Amino acid sequence: MDTRTKILSAAEARRIPPPVVAAIGYFDVLRAEHVRELTALRAEGPLLAIVLPLEGELLPQRARAELVAALEAADYVAAADAGEAEALVEALKPIRVAHLEAEDARRARQLIEHVQQRQTL
């Protein structure tokens, strides 16, 4: 199966049948913690992962969407800006919305710090 078929435009994502769970984040860089979080969310219902743009991203938004789509836990993936993500949440009325942006930013900082520390050894 080509997992890129899980990737929907914002307009297509609005037609996802209820119930749905939404996870909103940057997913840059995708890590094991993401898999655990998304798997737990998927246990509550079909999962829509909304991939947000990110200034200073390591991977382009489309590439991050493709990586998330490759995860078994993600039923649907939409690449959207913050306004589109809010509109999707409003239209879909998910049973749960998980905002992962702050945690994603923390993980990215951790990774950068780890790499920098390794370079100084």
Domains of the chain: 3-119 (3.40.50.620)
At residue 1, does pLDDT exceed 70? no
27 burial (CB, 10 Å; 0-12 / 13-18 / 19+) is buried
- Locus of tokens 């996870």: 23
Beta carbons of 68 and 77 less than 8 angstroms apart = yes
Element of type H or E holding 94 = none
pLDDT digits (tens, 9 = 90+) for 52-90: 999 999 899 999 999 999 999 999 999 999 999 999 999
d(CA 15, CA 8) in angstroms, rounded, equals 10
Question: Which pTM was predicted?
Answer: 0.92
d(CA 68, CA 93) in angstroms, rounded, equals 22
d(CA 48, CA 34) in angstroms, rounded, equals 14
